[in-house]
Amino acid sequence: MEAHAELRDEALARLAACTELAELRSVEKDYLGPEGAIGALLASIPSLPKEERPKVGAAANRLKKELEAGLDKARGELETARVAAERAGGDFDPSLPPRRAARGSLHPLTKVRREVERIFSSMGYDIADGPEVELDYYNFQALNIPVDHPSREMQDTFYCDEEHHLVMRTQTSPVQIRVMEQRQPPFRLIAPGRVFRNEEQDATHNHTFHQVEGLVVGEGIQVGHLTGTLKGFLAELFQRQVQVRLRPGYFPFVEPGFELDVACPFCDEKGGTCRVCKGVGWVEFCGCGLVHPEVLAAGFGGRDDVDLDKLTGFAFGFGLDRLVMLRYGLDDIRNLMGGDLRFLEQF
Ligand code: PHE
């Protein structure tokens, strides 16, 4: 009982001396914690003479309750004192609304990509992707671009590891081959992703940008399916009827190949002074065409579940950054990857 009285005096003195919450926590730990003094006292009871046990047990429990109540009270007093000090200092005004935590926002590229994905998903397309560091085989060879083909120079490639034939993909078209290798036709999908080109940079060219690849494979696919699909997509994106036109275009992995233009969604009178189309009335939208038989052979060749003689398809690839710029009226593509919060916080 003497040990108990000493423990109580010591604990209450320490409690009274506390001036901070952290100190209260350490008092709590030292006396009430799993390895605290009161626990030790309770644990010693079985070794005491029988007649002392109830007395010591009851005293230990009383002390425990007393300390718990003392800790609660001291916590309340410290908190009240803190608020009073804040008020006296003048930097606390309880009538002000609480400060809002700053919230992030989605990158404009993410917003437009999701919109594109939503529209194509509603047309029954799957979403696919592929690696950004790509084998030369997928980025070029399988797409009917042999090693010394001049179109390799059209796309200024970042080579990562020539020994292992690795490049930063210059286009999303390699995903075409990767999905052909894995899927059973018919299918339709889009593959949005980052691409890289070692080019001079200016307001409309960046070394890192984004494309959305489209690929539809099945029997009897024709150019009309291609234009109808892209027209439907653009109408949904711009929420109005749009006109499209095809011009011949050369890409080794399509035949025939086209450039598809869309009637400028921002100006109605052709020949005007529209900033977006410079008065031309049309904006280039994408490269596209019917999948070249060599590409189908590279992707599906040697499989007995695929009849190459009957297989056809269309493919397209458009720039997502361009679409974002059209959508938000931006004039410098470099802002999109610049990471400047003053730019990004506007979205
Ligand atoms: N990959 C081409 C480019 O980057 C675009 C394209 C995709 C063209 C699919 C035709 C078919 O320019």
pLDDT in tens, 49-67: 888 888 888 888 899 999 9
Read off the pLDDT of each residue in 90-98 and give the average, rounded to a whole number. Answer: 75
CATH of the domain at 330: 3.30.930.10
Residue 96 lies in a domain: no
Note the pLDDT of residue 175.
98
pLDDT, residue 154, reads 62
21/122 same-domain check:
no
Does 93 fall in a domain?
no
Distance CA 120, CA 52 (A): 82
Rounded distance from Cα 244 to ligand 1 centre (Å): 17
Residues 303, 207 share a domain = yes
Residue 291, both tokens: 């999948």
How far apart CA 158 and CA 258 sit, in angstroms, is 26
pLDDT score recorded for residue 247: 98
Interval 146-191: pLDDT, tens: 888 876 776 689 999 888 899 999 999 999 999 999 999 999 999 9
Question: Which residue would you say has higher pLDDT here, 294 or 328?
Answer: 294
What mean pLDDT comes out for the span 258-287? 82
* Same-domain check for residues 120 and 198: yes
Q: Which residue would you say has higher pLDDT here, 100 or 28? A: 28
Q: How many domains does the chain have?
A: 2
Residue after which a domain boundary falls, among 36, 60, 88: 88
Q: Are residues 113 and 45 in the same domain?
A: no
- Least confident segment among 3-7, 111-115, 234-238, 288-292: 3-7
Q: Are residues 24 and 165 in the same domain?
A: no
- Ligand 1 atom at minimum distance from 171 CA: 4
Q: Is-contact 30 37, C-beta < 8 A?
A: yes
What mean pLDDT is predicted for residues 125-147?
Answer: 95
pLDDT for 99-124, tens place per residue?
A: 778 788 899 999 999 999 999 999 99
- Residue 209: its H or E element: strand 208-219
Whether 251 lines ligand 1, by a CB cut-off of 6 Å, is yes
150 preceded by cis ω (within 30°)?
Answer: no
Tokens in use for 73? 């009270």
pLDDT of residue 269: 53
Q: What is the DSSP string of 259-318?
A: EEEEE-TT-SSTTS--TTTTTSSEEEEEEEEEEPHHHHHHHHTT-TT--TTTEEEEEEEE
Q: Nearest 5 degrees, angle CA 46-CA 49-CA 51?
A: 105
Listed residues 88, 116, 139: the one ending a domain: 88
Q: Determine what percent of the chain is predicted with pLDDT higher than 90.
A: 59
Residue 333 CB–ligand 1 contact under 6 Å: no
Give CA 124 to chain center in angstroms.
23
Query: From the CA of 119, how far away is ligand 1's center (Å)?
Result: 20
- In the DSSP assignment, the letter for residue 202 is B
Average pLDDT over residues 238-265: 94
Looking at residues 261-269, what average pLDDT do you find? Answer: 79
Q: Is there an atom of ligand 1 within 6 Å of 11 CB? A: no
Q: How far is CA 76 from the centre of its chain?
A: 45
Residue nearest to atom 10 of ligand 1 (CA): 288
Sign of CA dihedral 139, 141, 143, 149: positive
More confident: 42 or 86: 42
Decide if 252 contacts 143 (C-beta within 8 A): yes
Average pLDDT of the residues in 259-263: 95
Q: Which residues contact 21 (CB under 8 A, 6 or more apart)?
A: 75, 78
pLDDT of residue 88: 76
The pTM (predicted TM-score) of the whole model is 0.71
Q: Write the DSSP symbol of residue 102.
A: P
pLDDT over 70 (residue 270): no
Q: Quick one: 65 and 143 in the same domain?
A: no
Which residue is closest in CA terms to ligand 1's atom 4? 171
Confidence of residue 228 (pLDDT cuts 50, 70, 90): very high
Confidence band (pLDDT; 50, 70, 90) for 255? very high
Residue 192 has pLDDT above 80, yes or no: yes
Q: Is 193 in the pocket of ligand 1 (CB under 6 A)?
A: no
Mutational pocket test of ligand 1: of 152, 210, 253, the residue with most ligand atoms within 8 Å of the beta carbon: 253
Q: Please, which residues have CB within 8 angstroms of residue 11's CB and are 6 or more apart in sequence? A: 27, 31, 37, 63, 67
pLDDT (tens digit per residue) in 199-225: 899 998 999 999 999 999 999 999 999
Does residue 207 sit in the same domain as residue 275?
Answer: yes
Q: Which domain holds residue 298?
A: 108-344
